[in-house]
Structure 1
């Protein structure tokens, strides 16, 4: 294995629609991921679905059971010790940032600093936005403003903080507790568009593109993110770059991703049976020399 690859971080996702919502299964999955040496566990979000909801050509059955990712991650945190907690993605425009700042800081405090891989997106389902009272056309601007609000509240101030924007406004506000031992949480930006790449560069601590995109377009989007970071006076080299992959990822393919600038890979498994999931996680951990491995 190359020296560059040893610096790669490996996380795993848990998708309730396909892996189930049984609490014992979730905890067993998370504990096994931790024992195998995975860095983090990621969960997706949909607030609500409806008939005909689709992302591109992919229609989402309205019966898919999406757990609230933050509630689920809090549950996971209580049953694990080291595993970082991530979302991919939390649909930011559908959350009020004042409430969200409190929820995220609470999880981070109770987990002793493990709510550190928050990835946000702007959503792709108009009906979902309508259901929560958000104008679908303004969701990008709303997300940008929400990121500013989250960081302002976490940083705090002796006299409180104030904000007056297009969507949110408050004066002399205190949001306590703040994140564990910190004045903020990293915010990664997800999305498979050039707009998402620009948002990641301007505002994100990391970029996590999704979707099925041609490799050439992937490269363009990464350059857009880095250029946007530089234009905003930020260090483009500090931007983490996360990508998704199947759990059968090979070492050769991981090395290719490293050469493309990827710093973290989040793998997923199509297996629905817990025994098969455990076997796949163990095999992956052994293949990439992750920490402690369990049978």
Structure 2
């Protein structure tokens, strides 16, 4: 089991010193990775499920935030939870991700992408809300093609993106492509994870039966696509006070990574929560038995 921590600016704040302190403490505790969320724009009445998002919630650009975190840390992996893929041009996004990965020496390895649930947000960036699933699929294919392409260039002709003989350097740090995990709470997301994802990160508002159905669907879709379902990582969110028994239950369900988040708003209390979790699950001992992507 791998353990990650998330930092949500709407809840934890946008003070850069606090973000750095949070990330550094997570790294010192032995957490594998740090995740940040994304919303590009909000508006009055924006609803995610039954919950209304106050329009004043502050969301940093996740990749700019992770670049900032990377410069202040040494080892911790960088993740998005989730990046709204249909609202980014994949040629530009591939460049940004490779840049962060190179500058961080191979730590931009937990990109999790989703479709977005706010029609007004899609409209604001000129994306037809009804096409965002197909657009995301193409974007994944475009990024992987660019990362793997050589000096002769690569070409793509799709519904949304078209180019000829395109070259993009630098490449990700020491790999042919960056892992792309699929986030979402739908069976369509599970199928997308099976067809194209390196991992699946379902949302929190699912009952146990639906979770099991979606995981099985992701794995069976991977088989149908000629992919190995055993390589599909399975990430879930969990409370920072979760017990050993709860973690073992997650593991029995096939979970390979758990993402927790400090619930306190005061920095000292946040560090206490992370430290207690790290001690409970011996994160530093786990870390010492593993090698990081950059050999640290």
TM over 0.5, shorter chain = yes
Q: Secondary structure at the match of 2:214?
A: helix
Deviations 1:74-119 (A, max 9, x none): 0000000000000000000000000000000000000000000000
Q: Distance in 1 between matches of 2:28 and 2:41?
A: 33
Q: 1:197 corresponds to which residue?
A: 190
Q: Secondary structure at the match of 1:242?
A: strand
Q: 2:131 corresponds to which residue?
A: 138
Q: Distance in 2 between matches of 1:254 and 1:211?
A: 16
Q: 2:90 corresponds to which residue?
A: 97
Does structure 1 residue 156 correspond to structure 2 residue 146? no
- Aligned match for 1:240, one of 220, 229, 233: 233
Pairwise CA distance, 1:183:
1.1
Q: 2:223 corresponds to which residue?
A: 230
Pairwise CA distance, 1:211:
3.0
- Aligned match for 1:86, one of 70, 74, 79: 79
- Aligned match for 2:49, one of 34, 45, 56: 56
Q: Secondary structure at the match of 1:246?
A: coil
Q: 2:294 corresponds to which residue?
A: none
Q: 2:104 corresponds to which residue?
A: 111
CA RMSD after TM alignment:
0.9
Q: Distance in 1 between matches of 2:15 and 2:65?
A: 11
Q: Secondary structure at the match of 1:286?
A: helix
Q: Secondary structure at the match of 2:284?
A: coil
Pairwise CA distance, 1:249:
1.0
Does structure 1 residue 250 correspond to structure 2 residue 243? yes
Q: Secondary structure at the match of 1:85?
A: strand
Pairwise CA distance, 1:292:
7.0
* Residues 2-21 of structure 1 aligned to structure 2 (within 5 Å): 8-21=1-14
Instruction: Flag structure 2 segments of 5+ consecutive residues without an equivalent.
Output: 287-296
Q: Distance in 2 between matches of 1:64 and 1:200?
A: 29
Q: 1:43 corresponds to which residue?
A: 36
In the TM superposition, structure 1's runs of 4+ consecutive aligned residues that sit over 4 Å from their partners are none
- Aligned match for 2:18, one of 17, 21, 25: 25
Q: Secondary structure at the match of 1:291?
A: helix
Q: Is the CA contact (8 Å cut-off) linking 2:204 and 2:237 kept in structure 1?
A: no
Query: TM-score of the superposition, structure 1-length normalised?
Result: 0.96
Q: Distance in 2 between matches of 1:268 and 1:230?
A: 33
Query: TM-score of the superposition, structure 2-length normalised?
Result: 0.96
Moved more, 108-117 or 208-217: 208-217
Q: Distance in 2 between matches of 1:126 and 1:174?
A: 33
Q: Distance in 2 between matches of 1:211 and 1:253?
A: 15
Q: Distance in 1 between matches of 2:199 and 2:37?
A: 17
Pairwise CA distance, 1:158:
3.1
Q: Distance in 2 between matches of 1:131 and 1:211?
A: 27
Q: 1:181 corresponds to which residue?
A: 174
Deviations 1:17-65 (A, max 9, x none): 0000000000000000000000000000000000000111011000000
Deviations 1:198-226 (A, max 9, x none): 00000000000013110010000000000
